Amino acid sequence: MEDTKEVSTLQATSILISTIIGVGVLPLPLFAVQSGDTGAPIVTLSGIVLAAIGLFILTFLGVRHPQNTIVTYNENIIGKWIGKLCSFIVIIFFFILTGLAAREFGEVVVAAVLRETPLEVTVIVMLTLACLSARNNINTFTYIHNFYVPVILAPGLIIVALSLKNGNILYLQPLLGSNLQDMFTGMLTISALFQGSFVMTMIIPYMKEPKKAMKASFWGIFVSGGLYLLIVIATVSVFGPEEIKQILWPTLELARTTAVPGNILQRLDVIFLAVWVTAVFTTIFSSYYFTINSIKEVFSLKDHKMLSYFILPIVFILAMIPQNLIQMYEIIQFIGKIGLIITIFYPGLLLLIDIWLSWRRKKSVTQQS
Amino acid sequence: MLHNNHKIALLLLIFLLLPLLSGCWDSKEIDKRANILAIGIDEAKTKEQKHEDEIAHFKNKLPISNEKMIKLTAQIAVPGRIPLGPEQGGGGPTNPVLVIPVVGHTIDDALVNLQQEVSNPLFLGHLRIIVLNEKVARKGTQQINDFLRRNPQIRRTANLVVSKEHASSYMKVNPKLERIPSLYLADMIDNLSGLGKFPPSFIGLFWTHLSSKGQDAYLPYLSIKGKDNIQLNGLALFKGERMAGKTSPLEIGDFMSVIGIYKGGYGAFSMVPGTDTVVMIGTKTRRSRIKVYLKKGKPHVLIRVRYECEIDEKQSQKVYIANSGMVKKIEKEFSGSVEESIKSFIKKTQSKESDIFGFGEYFRAKLPKYWKGRVRTKENWEKIFKNDLTFNVKVDTHLNRVGMKAK
């Protein structure tokens, strides 16, 4: 391993925050309202809780194996070949996730801002940025995230605060807007937006105090989930559930409607989009880094730098697969739900086997003595 | 050496990407754009319908009949003639805007036709106001909304208004207070909201109300007075996406009382009890509280309004407002007359099936069981609003000041 400084708990938290907050903020209120109606905040909250459970399982596993990441320590738990197979699936999943995030970014930019610029250009610029940055070591990775966290959080909070005065509390009532089945689907969709938190497994081995990883996980999901929840509350209370169903990216629309008092800025979408590009970059950067880092570890390679270029075309092609925006969102929601098996169910299973193994080991030790 | 090569390669890559970063495809100089500032939409007359050439579609090959054709009048800013600072003396009477009428079957169709007549690309990012002729509004706004929602250039804070006269004449009026007519029009709506003369109104809010199941939308209703003056003439009431009626200007005040817009802007005459003198009472602030109940299975609304008022004017010198007992009496009289006025106003909206107050939203939010069992859709609510809804209004007036004049 190269000479790297260790990642502090605070830095780990900020990596999580900036990784989680990404391209998903834009359609978030739409997803929440489609399944929860006026109960959108509750749906969001339950999604956050589900995502938090997944992350805690993953962190707990990581703390038990503080030297490795999930793609290597799983071999100790479920055997070498099954372990490698599972790791492949994880890697492929993150390939797709990176590609889809880049594509979603491109679609928003082409539809809302740069109407004439070809989609391929925006996607490839974003991916190249991630590709070049991913050649750095884990320290630079940490610094980049740490640097951008305030830039990502502050404007989001400002938009929420300024727009809440136009809010109508009636739009948030009744608290349970739809039936439980719809809310459950919504919970899965929302929780899929938090899949970036899986990078935690990669950070734990580099942490100064891996034991405090749980704390980082908690605050990471608390802050990012809190922001998501606030955005849902603000958007639903300003537009109302019925209107949100008519808008593809309600959060962007909220920024377009909100004005800074005193006619300084009549619409905030310019600031919001600039920030959002940063947030998308950090997310894609994380999943990109995670992908190549995992490949490196599965094949026990020394260095991940060269891989960075090799996977760029693959990710780009993956990003170009959806034929149109509607198909893209169908794929994103489908992949997101499959991803829950990978990011929550799979670590859960590993943890159970791991605990069972160590319990058996302990038992055999006591029997011998 | 290898390291050096690597650096050069990276440098080349950066230079290769640099032009991409600027997103040049979308760069357009501001004076090369045709900035549309305002749009007026009318019904196309039979004579005008023939003006359309085969641009977006071939003749008679569209499922939309010619009777539904619209006439769109666009006000386009002429580059270089928009004054930036306060107006300087001198200079000829140059018109800062260009007004072009086109016809089309839909709003986008009309804009495509318009582009065919203008050399620079049309840009809607500075669109401040859209004027709908009353006849168009009565036929339905859905098709217009669809285009405006889809187009990313449109601001949600743009204004949408309904006009009594032809919308095209609003594009041509030349108000003296501002060089650019459309800005005057748009500012007028915003400023009147600030003065408490009109509830907040912009296109995003209109859409929100339109989508809400328990509320109907409203828009400002304008009319032209004299040659170049525009008057806020009332509220346009909507039933679903169609305009259903209009109110008088004073009823805007009643409406704002019910929904509780804090800043008061309207005044009303009130009799001084026991005399034949009237005083003008100006509202300073209003507050309202709306409660909803079910009375024997039928929806019932209780509206409490609280006014803070001031006496602005007294008609005759014969009567003195000398003691607090007198003030109490005036308060009571005023409350009573406002109550009557609000009641008749709500009845009027009921007859139009237009719940602009959003009472339905209260029922949806507070009594979800009733809503899910009996109402569910906007159409049902409009019927219930008309036939079943009962209400009670309680007005509480506080006359705090009488101005600077004693007695």
Q: What is the DSSP string of B182-238?
A: HHHHHHHHHHHHHTTSS----HHHHHHHHH-TT---EEEEEEEETTTEEEEEEEEEE
Q: Residue B306: inside a domain, yes or no?
A: yes
Q: What are phi and psi of B240, to 5 degrees?
A: 60, -130
Integer Rg of chain B from CA: 27
Q: Residue B370: inside a domain, yes or no?
A: yes
Q: Do A114 and B361 touch (CB under 8 A)?
A: no
pLDDT value at residue B176? 77
pLDDT value at residue A235? 93
Residue B208 near chain A (CB below 8 Å)? yes
Q: 3-state DSSP call for residue B307?
A: strand
pLDDT value at residue A59? 92
- DSSP 3-state percent helix, strand, coil across chain B (nearest 5): 35, 30, 35
Residue B8 near chain A (CB below 8 Å)? no
Token couple for A113: 């801002």
Q: Do A246 and B26 touch (CB under 8 A)?
A: no
Smallest CA–CA distance, residue A58 to chain B, in Å, is 37
Smallest CA–CA distance, residue A292 to chain B, in Å, is 20
**Percentage of residues in chain B having pLDDT higher than 70:** 89
Q: Residue B46: inside a domain, yes or no?
A: yes
Q: Do B25 and A114 touch (CB under 8 A)?
A: yes
pLDDT band for B407, please (50, 70, 90 cuts): low
Smallest CA–CA distance, residue B208 to chain A, in Å, is 5
B61 with B152, same domain? Answer: yes
Nearest Cβ partner for B212 among A117, A242, A267: A242
pLDDT value at residue A1? 45
Distance, CA of A358 to CA of B322 (rounded, Å): 92
pLDDT beyond 70 at B85: no
Distance, CA of A48 to CA of A227 (rounded, Å): 11
pLDDT band for A304, please (50, 70, 90 cuts): confident
**Alpha helices (H) in B313-394, listed in sequence order:** 324-351, 359-366, 368-370, 378-387
Domain end call among B246, B265, B292: B246
Nearest Cβ partner for B157 among A125, A172, A257: A257
CA distances from B387 to B30, B152, B351, B361, B383 (A): 55, 41, 9, 17, 6
pLDDT band for A100, please (50, 70, 90 cuts): very high
- Degrees, nearest 5: CA angle A359-A363-A364: 120
CATH of the domain at B380: 3.30.300.210
**Percentage of residues in chain B having pLDDT higher than 90:** 11
Q: Where are the domains of chain A?
A: 9-155+179-235+277-358
Q: How many inter-chain contacts (A to B, CB under 8 Å) are there?
A: 79
Q: Residue B407: inside a domain, yes or no?
A: no
pLDDT beyond 90 at B263: no
Nearest to A343 by CA among A191, A123, A182, A210: A191
CA distances from A151 to A101, A145, A287, B55, B158 (A): 20, 10, 20, 47, 29
Query: Is the backbone of residue B91 left (phi > 0), alpha (psi -120 to 50) or beta?
Result: left
Is the preceding peptide bond at A174 cis, omega within 30 degrees of 0? yes
Domain end call among B206, B228, B246: B246
Could you give the ipTM of this predicted complex? 0.84
B167 with B290, same domain? Answer: no
Q: 3-state DSSP call for residue B9?
A: helix
Q: Which CATH architecture has domain A9-155+179-235+277-358?
A: Up-down Bundle (1.20)
Contact B348/B342 with Cβ under 8 angstroms? no
Scanning every residue of chain B, which has its alpha carbon at the shortest distance from the alpha carbon of A236? B208
pLDDT value at residue B94? 64
Q: Residue B219: inside a domain, yes or no?
A: yes
Residues of chain B in contact with residue A36, where contact means CB-CB under 8 angstroms, are: none
Pairing of strands B229-239, B70-77: unpaired
Q: pLDDT digits over B21-33, tens only? A: 655 666 677 777 8
B219 with B263, same domain? Answer: no
Contact A250/A88 with Cβ under 8 angstroms? no
Q: Do A259 and B157 touch (CB under 8 A)?
A: yes
pLDDT value at residue B92? 47
Q: Residue B10: inside a domain, yes or no?
A: no
Token couple for A369: 């003595």
Smallest CA–CA distance, residue A59 to chain B, in Å, is 37
Residue A1 near chain B (CB below 8 Å)? no
pLDDT band for A92, please (50, 70, 90 cuts): very high
pLDDT value at residue A178? 74
Distance, CA of B317 to CA of B332 (rounded, Å): 22
Count of domains forming chain B: 2
Q: pLDDT digits over B155-212, tens only? A: 888 889 999 988 888 888 887 777 788 888 888 888 888 888 888 888 988 999 998 8
B149 with B67, same domain? Answer: yes
Nearest to B376 by CA among B390, B364, B388: B364
Contact A202/A68 with Cβ under 8 angstroms? no
pLDDT beyond 80 at B373: yes
pLDDT value at residue A105? 92
Q: Residue B137: inside a domain, yes or no?
A: yes
Distance, CA of B270 to CA of B314 (rounded, Å): 10
Residues of chain B in contact with residue A266, where contact means CB-CB under 8 angstroms, are: 155, 157
If you average pLDDT over every residue of chain A, what do you get? 87
Range A130-141 average pLDDT:
88
Bridge partners (DSSP) listed for residue B397: B307
State which residues form the domain around B280.
254-401
Scanning every residue of chain B, which has its alpha carbon at the shortest distance from the alpha carbon of A268? B155
Residues constituting chain B: 407
Token couple for A324: 């149109």
CA distances from B129 to A84, A205, B95, B125, B179 (A): 62, 59, 19, 11, 16
Contact B394/B302 with Cβ under 8 angstroms? yes
Nearest Cβ partner for A256 among B10, B155, B358: B155
Distance, CA of A220 to CA of B180 (rounded, Å): 51
pLDDT value at residue B9? 80
B46 with B193, same domain? Answer: yes
Residue A121 near chain B (CB below 8 Å)? yes
B289 with B365, same domain? Answer: yes
pLDDT value at residue A361? 87
Residue type, A9: T
Q: Residue B136: inside a domain, yes or no?
A: yes
Contact A47/A191 with Cβ under 8 angstroms? yes
B242 with B261, same domain? Answer: no
Q: 3-state DSSP call for residue A226?
A: helix
Domain end call among B246, B262, B290: B246
pLDDT beyond 50 at A68: yes
B121 with B215, same domain? Answer: yes
B216 with B282, same domain? Answer: no
Maximum pairwise Cα distance, chain A:
79
Range A26-40 average pLDDT:
89
